[in-house]
Structure 1
């Protein structure tokens, strides 16, 4: 869906929730192949049985990537991604866990160098099927202001 939303249209506290997405062994194997991260915490089931979590965990970067994709439901031609801040992997995600994402507009400010733009910060919170927070980050959007 394409929907123009100007800087002035973003409301603090406005939020949206994604559908769920179950993380599979294939997701982990594919991510390891794409990134070269074959760390045993992700790949070695027998070794993981001897560790604190007792099972393989998904790469934090996999969960971040999937979560970002889950929030990309609308195209706003007046905005683009300016980056991510405060990325934290709060709890592990295991094979078979289902994640959901909540995005909440939590800050707006003028762009320091480009008067025709503002920065909108969206807090992205990723939850597992038990409602536990597994990842948090802030997505910064550079958004065009309405012409005055």
Structure 2
């Protein structure tokens, strides 16, 4: 995980709720590698958190650092 942005709780989550997360790749960006670093990039993800009733309870954007092939 490279960072968490724009986290918003839309509804409360209660004890015994079941939640799950949907991730959607939003964008990717090359990261300039220094001489001794592995080439990598940053992927920005939309995160949607839903409860057992399929109601959205939170949303966020996360950034992940991934190695390039």
Could you say which TM-score interval applies, normalised by the shorter chain?
0.7 to 0.9
1:91 maps onto 2:11 in alignment: yes
Per the normalisation by structure 2, the TM-score is 0.79
The equivalent residue for 2:33 is: 114
1:84 deviates by 0.9
The equivalent residue for 1:135 is: 58
Per the normalisation by structure 1, the TM-score is 0.40
Unaligned stretches of 5+ residues in structure 2: none
- Alignment length, in residue pairs? 65
Greater share of helix residues, 1 or 2? 1
Q: Which has the larger radius of gyration?
A: 1
What CA distance in whole angstroms lies between the structure 1 residues aligned with 2:57 and 2:26?
Answer: 19
Unaligned stretches of 5+ residues in structure 1: 1-80
Indicate the RMSD between aligned Cα atoms, in angstroms. Answer: 1.6
Moved over 4 A (4+): none
What CA distance in whole angstroms lies between the structure 2 residues aligned with 1:138 and 1:123?
Answer: 5
1:130 deviates by 1.3
Structure showing greater relative contact order (alpha-carbon pairs closer than 8 Å, 6 or more residues apart): 2
Q: 1:100 aligns with which of 20, 28, 31?
A: 20
The equivalent residue for 2:46 is: 123
